Structure 1
Amino acid sequence: MTEFCTAERDGHLLVVTINRPERMNALHPPANFELEGIFNDFAADPDLWVAIITGAGDRAFSAGNDLRWQAEGNKLEVPATGFAGLTARFDLTKPVIAAVNGVAMGGGFEIALACDLIIASDNAKFALPEPKVGLAALAGGLHRLPRQIGAKRAMGMILTGRQVPAAEGMELGFVNEVVPAAELMASAKRWAGLIMECSPMSIRASKEAVYKGLDIANLNEAVTGKYPAVNALFKSEDLIEGPRAFAEKRKPNWKGK
């Protein structure tokens, strides 16, 4: 049982909702640790292939760290896997989609940046405003944003703390699609469905190779590097099923193993 978030299974899809709308889905330690548990279970469950994370209500995806909780004298704790159990989870090879409804500020934006795709409602706004309250975006935002959109564009957001609307986020390159608010979850699920048409073993191998490869400056070393999820792909039933289904002109029956 969880108090500050919900998790709903839909076949191979897990939909996670941050459920603190009265605090604009800002996260305090109990919420962070609940989310860590949910994503631990997601990572370990072979029948779950893709996750979507969103926020309850239409005002906010997440306003980030619950500063009111902190100001009330409570101790700030973050799980080892990071903010929302995601921002420091560097070994997750399953795709996670952020369905951003409304405000994604500070840690909320960092959660979205830690996801593989960002689908945004047309009223979404993104920012790393930590310097305005004497803090810094240390849950990965200062490193993910420059890697995703380039240093100069990222510094334009980081050094000012300015709010970026969804349409500009797409122009900058960190948003994949902007849709009307009423269509947000349907669009996120459509993206998840497209991913789940592919072999989950291939998806995990691809995700791992992309992110680990980006850590290697030399292209030859990145291409020829050793990736556990790639090794798992070549030992999987999916490697046999894919070509067989193609030859038989039918949809593949992926096993994810």
Structure 2
Amino acid sequence: MSDLVTVTREGALTIITINRPEASNALNNDAQVAMNAAFDAFAADDDQWVAIVTGAGPKAFCAGHDLKQQAASGELVSPPNGFGGLTGRKGLNKPVIAAVNGVAMGGGLELALACDIVVAAAHAAFALPEVRVGLAALGGGIQILPQVIGAKHAMGMLLTGRRVSAQEGHALGFVNEIAEGDVLDVARKWAVEILVASPSSVRATKEAVRLGLSTPYDQAIADQWNYPAMKAMFASEDYVEGPKAFSAKRVPEWKGR
């Protein structure tokens, strides 16, 4: 793994850290490749059930694309799975938590929006400032932000590029929690709560939510029984283990299969 991105594993939890604090954790081409590889490895590892993505240092989660590299080369590169290897990744049913430790700008905010849960430090700030530098939020911001906070609030951010505080982000609904202490520790607490649940059920639930957002309600209710992760849940050892553990009044031993 590149030193531009570090990966640590704590049991079934993977922590992916963007390690370019000197560049506000902006992603250059090499960092994009490293992030994509980190998420590939997480997706493929059956023993890893939840991921946290964060940035090194206290100032920045991710400042988006490395515009200095773009200015020098004229290229704006994203891997096939989108900015940071995540914003365009399809079929990842394992949950991902953003631990936003500072500014999240442009692709950095899009990376956070691509996560399932967003925990922010009190000093964190968010923006999609692409319109101010002759670009557009093409890493999913244009599509995801209106879904999360509504079209009017999203337009207010997208058309102006204005900064939003962690407190306003929480009020708008794209931040789940503002950390009073260390943001990574708070993200770990969310991960632990998820890890208490059946990983098969968690994946089935995430898939059903993701696919249901673009499907009419009646159709989604009918279709969810045939979603791949839902069918895998019904066929899993976890599906048998959960009721057994509940009846025996013991802690379930999840297998994730």
TM-score range, shorter chain: over 0.9
* 1:206 is the counterpart of 2:198: no
Q: Give the Å deviation of 1:90.
A: 2.0
Which residues in structure 2 correspond to 1:194-233 (within 5 Å)?
194-216=193-215, 218-225=216-223, 226-233=226-233
Percent identical across equivalent pairs? 55
- Tell me the equivalent position of 1:253: 253
SS, match of residue 174 in structure 1: coil
The TM-score normalised by the length of structure 2 is 0.98
Give the residue type in structure 2 aligned to 1:168.
E
Render the CA deviation track for 1:87-108: whole Å, top value 9, x for unaligned. Answer: 0002100000000011000000
Render the CA deviation track for 1:1-21: whole Å, top value 9, x for unaligned. Answer: 312110000000000000000
Range that drifts further, 71-80 or 138-147? 71-80
Which residues in structure 2 correspond to 1:3-14 (within 5 Å)?
3-14=3-14
Which residues in structure 2 correspond to 1:90-239 (within 5 Å)?
90-180=90-180, 182-216=181-215, 218-225=216-223, 226-239=226-239
Q: Count how many residue pairs are aligned between Structure 1 and Structure 2.
A: 255
- Tell me the equivalent position of 2:20: 20
Q: Within 2, Cα distance between the matches of 1:233 and 1:252? A: 15
- Tell me the equivalent position of 2:40: 40
Q: Give the Å deviation of 1:74.
A: 5.6
Give the residue type in structure 1 aligned to 2:90.
F
Q: Give the Å deviation of 1:76.
A: 2.8
Render the CA deviation track for 1:192-249: whole Å, top value 9, x for unaligned. Answer: 0000000000000000000101111x21101111210000000000000000000000
Render the CA deviation track for 1:56-82: whole Å, top value 9, x for unaligned. Answer: 000100000000111122633211001
Give the residue type in structure 1 aligned to 2:71.
A
Q: Give the Å deviation of 1:29.
A: 1.1
Q: Within 1, Cα distance between the matches of 2:12 and 2:171? A: 31
Q: Give the Å deviation of 1:251.
A: 0.5
CA RMSD of aligned residues (A): 0.8
Give the residue type in structure 1 aligned to 2:106.
G
Q: Give the Å deviation of 1:183.
A: 1.9
Render the CA deviation track for 1:92-127: whole Å, top value 9, x for unaligned. Answer: 000000000110000000000000000000000000
Render the CA deviation track for 1:24-80: whole Å, top value 9, x for unaligned. Answer: 000011101111111011001000000000000001000000001111226332110
The TM-score normalised by the length of structure 1 is 0.98
SS, match of residue 72 in structure 1: helix
SS, match of residue 15 in structure 2: strand
Question: Unaligned 5+ residue runs, structure 1?
Answer: none
Give the residue type in structure 1 aligned to 2:169.
G
Give the residue type in structure 1 aligned to 2:128.
L
SS, match of residue 251 in structure 2: coil
- List structure 1 segments (4+ residues) > 3 angstroms apart after TM superposition: none
Q: Residues 28 and 76 of structure 1 are in contact (CA less than 8 Å); yes or no, is this contact kept in structure 2?
A: no
